[in-house]
Amino acid sequence: MLKAFRKHTLILTAVAALAACSDDDVKPDLRADVDYSTLDETAGYASQFTDQSGASTVDFTEGNYRLKMFQALNYHSSSSVTAKTTIDANVLKSLYANSGNPFYDISTSSVSVTGATLNGSGLQLRNITASSLSATEAEAVRTKIEGDFTAIATASLSVNQTASSGVAGKLGNYLVDAKGIEQAQIIQKSLIGALQLDYISNVLLNKGLEADNYSVVSEKNYSQLEHNWDEAYGLLTLNDVYLKGSTDATRATVEFALGSYIWEYNKAAYAKIYPAFLKGRAAIVNNDRAELQTQATFIRTEMENAIARAALGYLDKWKTGSDDPARAHAMGEGLGFVYSLRFATLHGADAAFSDNLLNGLVGSANGFWDLDATKINTASDAIKVKFGL
């Protein structure tokens, strides 16, 4: 009898302990659930996610500031070429690392930058470039980008000459180096992969999804997981509704870099990117991990597809180009996108795949000037196989 009583007592104690443990492990959600059917694909992102007081829980500052820094860096390198002035590699390095208050005001139809705001932001492009890689590998990519700054600065010394094989200068409206490579395009398109694709896809929408979603960040009204998702969106576009009103024929919003090329080279999926960001954000509110992973994988896959199709598109433009300036400009863009393929990790691409393509295309002594249809076709075929295109 006593033995049975003791056994019963132990069972009750164990049950009580398990119940207490279970209560401790269950964390309350931060927000009330969002009905996925209520998401409005024509309405702004920030207004659709609020706290109990009705205040938006979305903050695009970090993503948007870095996207503006990228615009400013690109503006400085390309406008200097247009003005036929030489370029100082150290200025580009300062813009890249946000050192020494390098940003200045820019106001054009497509770029609006307030220099003092970016200078005082405490943010930079360099430290997130290739940041999904090991420290050594990431630093190698950053050093390569800075080497491109030196290459365009060297080419700009010949900005008033006409380029030819072995001679840097202008080809039509484009500045190329002695191998016929347009470094301004190499810089921009390489950063689309090393900066935007890698940080958005391989960091924020990958490891970033493991962040805490049960407490708000100190002095903020968002969780770290909410913010990681919002930062990804903010680095893709400056618009509250990405590509709002766009059709296959017309891009209705001003977009830059990756945000623009998704529309141009992924017609099958560009209109689904904004809805995916909305649904993924709602899944974070709902702590619906399965749905969150589905939307993250979709966005990452389609960004990679856009870059692969862009690489193919510009390689093809070399074949259809009517003259050397058109072909050189196409190859500058194409080579930059080929470099960016190394960050398309969902498709199994890596640095070796990308470097083999680049060496096959322009690894010879005269680079662009030695290109032929066989080299272009070999690279294109390899990309099609890797990406299933």
The model's pLDDT over 104-126, given as tens digits with 9 standing for 90+, comes to 999 999 999 999 999 999 999 99
Report whether pLDDT(19) > 80: no
Express the helix, strand and coil content of the chain in percent, nearest 5 each.
Answer: 60, 5, 35
Report whether pLDDT(7) > 60: no
How far is 186 from 332, CA to CA, in rounded Å? Answer: 6
User: Residue 355 burial by CB count (10 A; 0-12/13-18/19+): exposed, middle or buried?
Assistant: middle
* 10-14, 30-34, 188-192: range with lowest mean pLDDT: 10-14
Report whether pLDDT(266) > 80: yes
Name the amino acid, one letter, at 5: F
Average pLDDT on 269-278 reads 98
pLDDT score of 18? 43
Name the amino acid, one letter, at 290: A
pLDDT score of 10? 43
Tokens of 66: 């870095």
pLDDT score of 84? 84
The answer to whether residues 277 and 252 touch, using CB atoms and an 8 Å cutoff, is no
Beta-bridged to residue 309, according to DSSP, are none
Phi, psi values for residue 240, rounded to 5°: -70, -25
How far is 300 from 133, CA to CA, in rounded Å? Answer: 17
Whether pTM exceeds 0.75 = yes
How far is 243 from 255, CA to CA, in rounded Å? Answer: 8
pLDDT score of 28? 87
